[in-house]
Amino acid sequence: MISSINEKRFFSQKVRIKKKYTNRKIKLYHFFHQRTNLYPENVIVLKNFIFYFVKNADYFKAKRFLKSLRKELKEKVLIIRAENTLIRLIISFFPDTYIHDITLDNGLEKNANNEKKIITLLFIFYKDRGIAIGRSGGYINVVNEIFEKYIFFEDYDTPIEIKCDFINL
């Protein structure tokens, strides 16, 4: 059983986002700057999602341009706060939902060749859970892929998997 001290230490650990640049990402980086007059910290393109990571201070300024960015790019564009702790980064991936609680499973669940820590986001409303999962699980799968490929942890080497669940009150 994971004690609450270990759980707090796990969630408060520092994280880094790996920066990989391709020609398309550099073009998207400059496109974002031209439209918003802000510099993103990082750009991640996965499947049909474009994630712009911005500084906390610039988040609400950048959020005003979200609708026009989506319209011009004709893709799913998300603006995410570039946080440096795990818990804040997880929450920043789900800005339009009410997350009731976040739990870390007691044990390690074995998946294929490696072990993953399972982080469960608990929602009160089906609508919020649906937003977090996305159509056919598309959004939560992309978020898990980002955590697998782009997020590096300060203390723990164990990969994580994020799941969404509903609480019956």
pTM of structure: 0.86
Structural domains for the chain: 4-15+85-166 (3.30.300.20), 17-81 (3.30.300.20)
Average pLDDT, the chain: 87
pLDDT (0 to 100) of residue 25: 92
* Secondary structure of 2-26 in HEC code, one letter for each residue: CCHHHHHHHHCCEEEECCCCCHHHH
pLDDT (0 to 100) of residue 110: 45
Six-digit token pair at 92?
Answer: 């920043």
Sheet strands (E) in the chain:
15-17, 42-46, 49-54, 76-81, 101-104, 109-111, 114-123, 151-153, 160-166
pLDDT (0 to 100) of residue 9: 81
Chain centre to alpha carbon of residue 8: 19
Contact status, residue 11 vs residue 104, Cβ threshold 8 Å? yes
Higher pLDDT, 39 or 4: 39
- At 66-115, the pLDDT tens digits run 999 999 999 999 999 999 998 999 999 998 889 898 888 755 444 444 57
pLDDT (0 to 100) of residue 114: 53
Chain centre to alpha carbon of residue 91: 7
